Chain A
């Protein structure tokens, strides 16, 4: 595959992520923040997000496994996860968090557990997608090409 092809592939892939709702305009903002002086800004932020998310998910799982569930704490975790995912632009994760918070308010254990599963699922999906994206970018750069700007109108 030549650079041109890889670039096109990257563009298509990126577009599909937006169209399918995995990413939203906030991710574009991040991409716009990236420049020559900070060429791997997006990758850095995203990896930071991964680290942080895994910590939060672990805490969440732990909190929901308790005999007596502290819903306030659960809600706080979910809230934070919502914040970070929205800052990254991980739209589906964010939406799952919003639903989760609703059930936290109701203090519905079963629904919360279900929500946690959903959030985890969405998170791993978007993580996968982003990692693929970065891989594609690396390939292009490795082949001497430059990352094309994805034109999207939101």
Chain B
């Protein structure tokens, strides 16, 4: 259609209108969009009304103007689907603009933009609380009107996502959802759901492929029914509060079983219990969402090969279990399943995703950060988790669910920045709506990133996982974790895969150390902590920085990988932290578990000390996301190195720098086969 011909905006032809209506016709809608957007303008001021109409027409929108609110409402009621967006003045003689806003929100659920010459804060706040999607100050400039279509798209996306969530009773669905979520988060420019659908399909395909390979790789601890029963018996014997991995391990007396295995399993179990006790469905949803993001993130990791699979396998296993548990609870599946294969698939999918997912990842990450810091940790080494959880919690509150709680967690810092930029807006909204007791994650942002991060974690290091993806896994776990006391954090950590360790399960054990309060373990967390702090700081201070950095992943794979790795790590870290201290902002909750304590103590020191530094570092990090990654990755790889790098902001920065300059160098640090910084050894 010739849009240019229609200055009056009458160009919104039926086709474009319908395209818009269908919300995602694909190419057709995209081409014309946002032209033809059907706008209803309500203002008692005839001058403004005329000017607005002219401006909107110039933007190629279809305009209907109205002097009175009552007339506007009846117009809307008569044509339920006749409009895409409403712009309304605040002060009107016959009806208060906010009242109209409420009506529209309730009856038609259209995006409403408020408008006024009044720019006082309380009025603008009123707009926010009443649910306006934007507030324009008069005199309105045409530039402000040009972008109103984003609100329509955003709303559609969220709706689509919600629908997806409700329909998703399987992991696959979750994945898809994640995909869509990712899409949502990635940018407001996402047009149509078809993209999400497409993504999902890709993800699924990828995941399946991954599954095969990953199973071949690492020997994984399979929690069979008997094993699980032994585990549960041990836990019950000890008492759920007192059940620590070490003791459980002793009680179980299973040869070949490591503390880390138990720890991670305990984490999942706790989450599962939590879920049973009424954890919001958010978490389930989130889990689902995580899965998808993970997939997405992993996709970026496509650079990985065998190692990834292993990591995935390892990670997948654990997360799968937890996920399974979670999902089972949520979806009615039998929770008894320990080694749910499905989750694995999800994770795998994550890995198999292409870089394009990165985009989502970023967005997701942001979400993750805001909503569920913990989930991210899903796959992340346990070390970080406890700490992170606390951190996560805290930030979440502030961010509106931002995972950032883990102010201390390094990952937080990393994650936060990323999550911040995008999800911010969205997440905040979502966060506020969801209960956050656990983790702001509940916000319902499936925080795809978390899922991904989890997956990433399993991979051995979040290596390059899409940031977003990395986060997803974590959020999931975190949410679950969040609900649990710190104890769970330990669980999480246990189940989380070793980030830095060698691909495959072997890597995991190192993480286990965290839980056991090993200094080494703690170190790990400590290492992360700095990042959390950084992120946290970053997040809070520069939400945008990270968002951009997160986008880093777009750099060449190696770099990206690293970044992801970093991020993934962080999420987990954050997650842990958040769990341990849901309420604490600083992630200082350490009382939950020993590990948590251990971690916290370390992290705490780091946090506080490093917060400042980290903040600065973060800045640097932000600028050099790659750097951060290197830091983390290197840390991950070598447990011993892990902390040192993390602790020192300088180290971190230098690591990042190093990474930037020579990703290869980073590779040397890690044991990953063939991966460059992708895997953040944990």
Contact = CB atoms under 8 A, between A and B. Distances in A.
Contacts, number: 65
B28 interface: no
Contacts of A49: 47
A127 to B, nearest CB: 13
B91 interface: yes
Given A80-B91, A83-B116, A35 B7 contact: yes
B45 A82 contact: no
Contacts of A37: 7-8
Nearest to A27: B139
Contacts of A149: none
B140 interface: yes
B141 interface: yes
Contacts of B54: 33, 38, 41, 45
Interface in A81-118: 82-84, 86-89
A44 interface: yes
Contacts of B139: 26, 29, 83, 86-87, 89
B47 A88 contact: yes
A48 interface: yes
Q: How big is the B interface, by class?
A: 20 to 34
B7 A87 contact: no
Interface in A45-101: 45, 48-49, 51-52, 76, 79-80, 82-84, 86-89
A83 B141 contact: no
A83 B45 contact: yes
B27 interface: no
A30 B8 CA distance: 15
A48 B67 CA distance: 14
A41 B53 CA distance: 11
B195 to A, nearest CB: 34
B394 to A, nearest CB: 40
Interface string B1-36: 000000110000000000000000000000000000
Nearest to A37: B7
Nearest to B89: A83
B142 A87 contact: no
A33 B138 contact: no
A26 B50 CA distance: 14
A28 B45 CA distance: 20
B55 A83 contact: no
Q: Which of B7, B47, B118 has the most CB of A within 10 A?
A: B47
B568 to A, nearest CB: 47
A26 B8 CA distance: 20
B102 interface: no
A45 B50 contact: yes
A79 B117 contact: yes
Contacts of A87: 45, 47-48, 51, 138-140
A45 B51 contact: yes
B58 A84 contact: no
Contacts of B89: 83
A44 B50 contact: yes
A80 B50 contact: no
A84 B47 contact: yes
Interface in B82-120: 89, 91, 93, 116-118
Contacts of B332: none
Interface of A: 26, 29-30, 32-33, 35, 37-38, 41, 44-45, 48-49, 51-52, 76, 79-80, 82-84, 86-89
Interface of B: 7-8, 44-48, 50-51, 54-55, 58, 89, 91, 93, 116-118, 138-142
17 contacts: A37-B7, A37-B8, A38-B7, A38-B8, A45-B47, A51-B46, A52-B45, A52-B47, A76-B91, A80-B91, A82-B117, A86-B139, A87-B45, A87-B48, A87-B51, A88-B51, A89-B139
